[in-house]
């Protein structure tokens, strides 16, 4: 794909994710939320954090394209390295995990992750923008251009560290409010919850490996350490 075409695509993707993130953080309800709901706001939900992650990624990608177009290759090289690291370690695995985990749990029992009462608050298009469209965008990005993956150990350590930060954030919210971010967590004992988190991390790692596999199959081996 030509650089000008890539720049247009990345610009449009950035605008889209920024719009979706803005839309979900400005959803209006007829009744004001409780103080409990206000703690952490929308920032306690992985889906919302992922929207901002995608907006940042596509913003960085667009910047890299622009620098290449204006022949600022030295600056572009640094931005491209940041873009590839952001995509491989976070943007692809998190989007894939959000889409797979949400629709799996939604199919099993939607009340555990997305209560029916939300249908009157969040439009159907916004639900699919948050939980469905993120995966095709991630696949399209792999098809559009090659991304250099870091050494496996480095990539997984970075991914694990981010996962640890989010789990810590979820546990902190529970310690302050006495309520779980997702109703699903209330069903588990402490050991069961630990097993659930471990299983989720395994899925995220699988998503990372899946992205690396697709990138290698389409574009060949390309790594940086």
Structure tokens that stand for 216 in this block: 């290698």
Q: How far is CA 66 from CA 6, 117, 137, in A?
A: 10, 44, 20
- Reported as a single tens digit per residue, the pLDDT across 134-165 is 999 999 999 999 999 999 999 999 999 999 99
Q: How far is CA 140 from CA 54, 133, 134, 165, in A?
A: 13, 11, 10, 28
Domain that holds residue 73: 3-24+37-219
Is 31 a domain residue? no
Count of domains forming the chain: 1
Is 224 a domain residue? no
Is 147 a domain residue? yes
pLDDT tens for the chain, residues 1 to 225: 788 899 999 999 999 999 999 998 887 665 544 444 467 778 899 999 999 999 999 999 999 999 988 877 778 888 999 999 999 999 999 999 999 999 999 999 998 888 888 888 889 999 999 999 999 999 999 999 999 999 999 999 999 999 999 999 999 999 998 889 988 999 999 999 999 999 999 999 999 999 999 999 999 865 443
Q: What is the pTM of this model?
A: 0.91
- Reported as a single tens digit per residue, the pLDDT across 117-132 is 888 888 999 999 999 9
Is 168 a domain residue? yes
Q: Where are the beta strands (DSSP E) in the chain?
A: 149-150, 223-224
Bridge partners of residue 223, in order along the sequence: 149
Torsions phi, psi of 123, nearest 5?
Answer: -60, 155
Q: How far is CA 182 from CA 84, 130, 147, 159, 165, in A?
A: 31, 16, 33, 22, 17
Spatial distance between the Cα atoms of 173 and 58, rounded to a whole number of angstroms: 30
Is 32 a domain residue? no
Is 93 a domain residue? yes
């Amino acid at each position: 794909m030509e650089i000008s075409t890539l720049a247009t695509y990345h610009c449009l993707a950035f605008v889209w994710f920024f719009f979706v993130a803005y839309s979900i953080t400005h959803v209006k309800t007829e009744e004001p939320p409780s103080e409990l709901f206000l703690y952490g706001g929308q920032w306690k939900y992985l889906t919302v954090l992922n929207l901002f992650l995608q907006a940042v990624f596509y913003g960085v990608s667009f910047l890299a394209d622009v620098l290449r177009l204006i022949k600022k290759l030295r600056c572009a090289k640094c931005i491209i390295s940041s873009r590839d690291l952001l995509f491989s370690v976070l943007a692809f695995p998190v989007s894939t995990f959000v889409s797979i985990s949400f629709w799996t749990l939604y199919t099993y029992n939607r009340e555990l992750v997305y209560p029916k009462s939300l249908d009157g608050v969040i439009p159907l298009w916004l639900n699919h923008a948050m939980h469905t469209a993120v995966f095709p965008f991630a696949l399209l990005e792999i098809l559009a251009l090659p991304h250099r993956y870091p050494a496996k150990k480095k990539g997984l350590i970075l991914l694990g560290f981010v996962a640890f930060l989010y789990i810590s954030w979820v546990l902190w919210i529970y310690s302050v409010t006495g309520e779980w971010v997702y109703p699903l967590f209330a069903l588990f004992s402490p050991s069961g919850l630990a097993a659930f988190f471990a299983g989720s991390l395994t899925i995220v790692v699988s998503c990372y490996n899946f992205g690396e596999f697709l990138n290698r199959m389409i574009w060949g081996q390309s790594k940086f350490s």
